[in-house]
Amino acid sequence: MKTRLHLPVAAFAFAFLSTLASAQPSGQAPAPGDGPPPRQAGPGSKGGPGAKGGPGGMGTAKFTAPILAKDAAEKKILDVLADISANQRRGSMSVPDDDGRILRVLAESLGAKHIVELGTSVGYSATWFCLALEKTGGKLTTFEIDEGRAAQARKNFQRAGVEGRVTLVMGDAHQTVATVKDSIDLLFLDADKEGYVDYLNKLLPLVRPGGLIVAHNINQRQADPAYIKAITTNPTLETVYLNLESSGMSLTMKKR
C-alpha cells in the first residue's frame, strides 16, 4: 500500500502535543472511565493545581485550545463526538477529550491510510480517527469483544457519517487480529492492558517503517511493565510518553 508521509508536519505535531496534552479545554471536565487517575499535587510537585511559576520557572500557565470546526463536514463529526463525550461515557471507558484530539492530530499529520485500533468501545476514539481519515482518504480497522458497546459504536459511526471508513471486527482480538493483512500506519492499543505485549508482537511486523504504535493508559496504575520493557528495549523502536501525569500514552515509532 502507498503511504504518504508529511514529515515536517509530524515533527511539528510531536513538539506541539506536549502543550496540547497539558491543556484542558475550557468547560470540559476530566473524563471518568479509563481516564486520568486523580492528579497528585503536593509540595514541590510540578504543575499541580495551585503551583506557581517563579521568575525563570516554567510556571503552570493553562492554555486552552477550543475545538473549532473548519467546515460543515468537520462540524458534523465534531457534534457527534461532543455528544458521545457528554452522554455516553458511563461504562464506555472512552479516552478523555484531549487524548481523542491528540489521536486525530497524530493520524492526520502522519497522513495515515490505515489505522488499527484495539478496543472500540462505543467508538469515541475511533470517531476521532475517522475525522483524520476523512482528510487522508484512509480506513480504520477496529476490534471489540463486547456486542453492546459495538452496537452503540456502529450507531455513532452512522450518525457521524463515517461508517464507510470503518471495519469493526467482533470477538477476542487476540485471535481476530490475525485477519489484518494490510500495512498499518498507526496502531492504537486500548483494549485489555495485559494484552498489549501480545498485540504488539502480532501486529508490529505490519506497522510500516515510520509508523506509530500508540498505547493508552500508560500510567503507574495501569501500565503493564512487560509492555514498557517491550517498547523501550527494542533498538528498532523509539518511544516517548505523553500525559504521564494523567491517563498517559506512549508513542512508539518504528524506525526506518
195 residue type, one letter? G
| Residue in 134, 130, 199 with CA at minimum distance from that of residue 166 | 130
Q: Using CB under 6 A, which of 109, 121, 136, 152 touches ligand SAM?
A: 121
User: Is residue 95 part of the contact set for ligand SAM (CB under 6 A)?
Assistant: yes
User: Is residue 107 part of the contact set for ligand SAM (CB under 6 A)?
Assistant: no
Q: Which is nearer to ligand SAM, 3 or 119 (CB)?
A: 119
In our burial notation (b when 16+ CB lie closer than 10 A, e otherwise), range 159-180 reads bbebbebbebbeeebbebbeeb
Stretch that binds ligand SAM, among 91-99, 133-141, 222-230, 237-245 (CB under 6 A): 91-99
How near is the Cβ of 29 to ligand SAM at its closest, in Å? Answer: 16
Q: Which residues pair with 188 in a beta bridge?
A: 117, 214
Residues near ligand SAM (CB under 6 A), total: 20
Q: Which residue is nearest to ligand SAM (CB)?
A: 119
Stretch that binds ligand SAM, among 13-21, 66-74, 88-96, 199-207 (CB under 6 A): 88-96
- Please tell me the distance from the alpha carbon of residue 93 to that of residue 106, in angstroms, as a whole number: 21
Restricted to residues 22-81, the positions that interact with ligand SAM (CB under 6 A) are: 34
Enumerate residues 6+ apart whose C-beta is below 8 A from 156. Answer: 80, 84, 88, 122, 123, 124, 127
Q: What is the radius of gyration, based on Cα positions, of the chain?
A: 18
How near is the Cβ of 43 to ligand SAM at its closest, in Å? Answer: 33
SS3 label, residue 196: helix
> What is the number of H-type helices and E-type strands within the chain?
8, 7
246 residue type, one letter? S
Enumerate residues 6+ apart whose C-beta is below 8 A from 2. Answer: 113
Q: Using CB under 6 A, which of 98, 144, 185, 245 touches ligand SAM?
A: 144
User: Is residue 146 part of the contact set for ligand SAM (CB under 6 A)?
Assistant: yes
User: Is residue 190 part of the contact set for ligand SAM (CB under 6 A)?
Assistant: yes
In our burial notation (b when 16+ CB lie closer than 10 A, e otherwise), range 60-96 reads eeeeeeeeeeeeeeeebbbebbeebbeebbeebbbbb
User: Is residue 245 part of the contact set for ligand SAM (CB under 6 A)?
Assistant: no
Q: Using CB under 6 A, which of 79, 83, 147, 172 touches ligand SAM?
A: 172
User: Is residue 165 part of the contact set for ligand SAM (CB under 6 A)?
Assistant: no
User: Residues 209-228: x/- map of binding to ligand SAM (CB under 6 A)?
Assistant: --------------------
User: Is residue 185 part of the contact set for ligand SAM (CB under 6 A)?
Assistant: no
Residue 114 and residue 185 in contact, taking contact as beta carbons nearer than 8 Å: yes
How near is the Cβ of 7 to ligand SAM at its closest, in Å? Answer: 27
Q: Using CB under 6 A, which of 23, 41, 67, 145 touches ligand SAM?
A: 145
Residues that bind ligand SAM (CB under 6 A): 34, 93-95, 119, 121, 124-125, 143-146, 149, 172-174, 190-192, 195
